Amino acid sequence: MPYRSLRECVADLERTGQLVRIPDEVDAHLEAAEIHRRVFDAGGPAVLFERVQGCRFPMVSNLYGTIDRARFIFRETLDQVRRLVDLKVDPAEALRHPLRAARALPTAWAMRPRFVSRGPVTEFSTTVSALPQVQCWPDDGGAFITLPIVYTEDVASPGWRKSNLGMYRIQLSGGEYAPDREIGLHYQIHRSIGVHHARAIERGVPFRVNVFVGGPPALTLAAIMPLPEGLPELLFAGALGGRRVQLINQPGALPIAADADFCITGTVDPARQLPEGPFGDHLGYYSLAHPFPVLNVENVYHRSDAIWPFTVVGRPPQEDTAFGALIHEITGPVIPTVLPGVKSVHAVDAAGVHPLLLAVGSERYVPYAAERTPQELLTQANAILGQGQLSLAKYLFIAAGDDDPQLDLHDVAAFLQHVLQRVDWTRDLHFQTRTTIDTLDYSGTGLNEGSKLVIAAAGPPRRELRRELPSGFNLPDGFGDAQICLPGVIAIQAPSVEKTEPGNSAAQDLDRFCRSLEPGHPLWEFPLVVLVDDSEFVARSLNNFLWVTFTRSNPAVDISGGGAFNEHKHWGCRGPLVIDARIKPHHAPPLVPDPAVTKRVDHLAKHGGPLHGVI
């Protein structure tokens, strides 16, 4: 049977050897997060923290730390959910395979929520300060809920059918929040909760919010599903959980997930915001403090056997990587039906997800042309950037699948080489300037502000990619230590932006470097050059290259090239494309663990310790 509660899931993982208990007292301030990171990095089990310092609730983390464990947790319902997706993709499937379609009917019935008068979650009341105060990174602004399930409804059309279940981080303490009475509600742009919030403001009515923590794992996964606006995540939670979601009916208030472990209820004052953050986020940097809505707390409920689940985000890969993989397995087949001609898309986790999106499309507009050029690909790129959260992509590389039917988006190195062999920098760069980017991306010109770049490639290879450094070439003063990152890609260590001489700037460095590149220069043969602070680090691994290049650059500001030109408002270059991926003064600081906490955790891994042999 699918899990009816978080405790059932924890017990099952322990019974199958996929969970370890820590009986030692652990501090929720930094120490629990450090343990989680170490166990995750080792590919280890879920972790149950039995004794939390100063708190009576146990905690659990790393539940979904591997894709195999995530599949195991949802093993009894994944196939049925895929059947529903298949029917959505191809309704004729029901006619071709009626028995297979019939097996999906119980899942369809489970999608409808069931209202009840009471449930386990409202058995007891507590306060915000009595909850586990998990702080993951040294400079976080306080304690946060890192696996919140936030429920809202459309005030213009109340009821679950227009509801939203989303994962929007919640700050429990710190900053200017009144203890036990106020908590922070952070949501990024292009999230459905924003639509509900705007509707409440328009109508001048209170915006009610319920925050669930824990409960059946299906609730957690449903909260991060990229469903179309207007389609309630509760439907998906029921399908994935294999049973109808139990909602406690609350006259005059929002319903409460009966099987959750905790629930915080409250209202948002539309006229008031407080600084929320900083918070170590999934791009690998701190998102800084900015004004965000304040949730005025009314009630804090919990069940008798409550367990507090948490995760840690930071430079990928982290636990949310498994979530992304599972979501792709479920929703991947839908992409071609929503975006005609697009065969597949992949948000690259190692680059922080939104900074880099890869896509395979079709190029069918002029099949008789002597030279294949990106045409239909550009139509598809615009469609991708107009689709839900895909619209937050900063770099979009799209290639014609017809050129290589074996092209695999998840082999990122091979895909980038495919594009670099075919791209024409005089033609295939398409910028969007002064537009919206991910709220968490500080490479832009302001909060939510920056630029985008579409790179489209079609046709046969134009060049061979060099795999070795040329010998005997000169670089401008301050530039050096060239390193090969990938075939055709070279990293150059450039002057630190923080240490440039007065009157100099990152833009001047970039311009000075590009002016040194002329036809005949040995670097002219490399299609892509990246200017970085530490070229050895960037070239050390593919993940390092992806993270530095795409999280530390704003395309319209940080891209230039050899032989650059503007023609009819189209920018291109005849030589190498150059991306300035150095840290700039306006960037957010990267995440660094506290060494003292790391040392404290080491004792748990010693012989006889609960994590011996795990980390």
Contact (CB, 8 A) for 613 and 604:
no
Q: Which pLDDT score, from 0 to 100, does residue 68 have?
A: 95
Read off the pLDDT band of 593 (50, 70, 90): very high
| pLDDT exceeds cutoff 70 at 131 | yes
The maximal CA–CA distance of the chain, rounded, in angstroms, is 79
CA proximity to 185, closest of 263, 269, 103, 115: 269
Start-to-end CA distance of the chain, whole Å, equals 32
**Tens digit of pLDDT for each residue in 408-447?**
999 999 999 999 999 999 999 999 999 989 888 999 999 8
- In this prediction, residues 94-122 reach a mean pLDDT of 73
Read off the pLDDT band of 613 (50, 70, 90): confident
| pLDDT exceeds cutoff 70 at 320 | yes
Tokens of 241: 């959980």
CA proximity to 230, closest of 188, 180, 196, 275: 196
- In this prediction, residues 369-389 reach a mean pLDDT of 89
- In this prediction, residues 444-454 reach a mean pLDDT of 93
| pLDDT exceeds cutoff 60 at 92 | no
**Tens digit of pLDDT for each residue in 275-292?**
999 999 999 999 999 999
Q: Which pLDDT score, from 0 to 100, does residue 547 have?
A: 98
Least reliable range by pLDDT among 96-110, 158-172, 189-203? 96-110
Three-state SS for 214-237 is: CCCHHHHHHHCCCCCCCCCHHHHH
Contact (CB, 8 A) for 287 and 277:
yes
- In this prediction, residues 51-77 reach a mean pLDDT of 96
| pLDDT exceeds cutoff 60 at 564 | yes
Q: Which pLDDT score, from 0 to 100, does residue 146 have?
A: 97
- In this prediction, residues 29-38 reach a mean pLDDT of 97
Read off the pLDDT band of 195 (50, 70, 90): confident
Read off the pLDDT band of 99 (50, 70, 90): low
**Tens digit of pLDDT for each residue in 465-520?**
999 999 888 899 999 999 999 999 999 999 998 755 555 688 999 999 999 999 99
Top pLDDT among 332 and 97 is at 332
Distance (Å, whole) CA 95 – CA 474: 68
Distance (Å, whole) CA 328 – CA 504: 45
pTM over 0.95, yes/no: no
Contact (CB, 8 A) for 141 and 121:
no
Q: Which pLDDT score, from 0 to 100, does residue 83 have?
A: 74
| pLDDT exceeds cutoff 70 at 458 | yes
Read off the pLDDT band of 88 (50, 70, 90): low
- In this prediction, residues 526-537 reach a mean pLDDT of 98
Q: Which pLDDT score, from 0 to 100, does residue 94 have?
A: 46
Percent of the chain scoring above 70 in pLDDT: 94
| pLDDT mean across residues, the chain | 91
**Tens digit of pLDDT for each residue in 203-257?**
888 899 999 999 999 999 999 887 766 678 898 899 889 889 999 998 889 999 9
Least reliable range by pLDDT among 8-22, 103-117, 206-220, 541-555? 103-117
**Tens digit of pLDDT for each residue in 172-182?**
999 999 999 99
Cβ of 359: how many Cβ atoms within 10 Å?
27
Q: Which pLDDT score, from 0 to 100, does residue 95 have?
A: 47
- In this prediction, residues 41-52 reach a mean pLDDT of 97
Distance (Å, whole) CA 301 – CA 264: 6
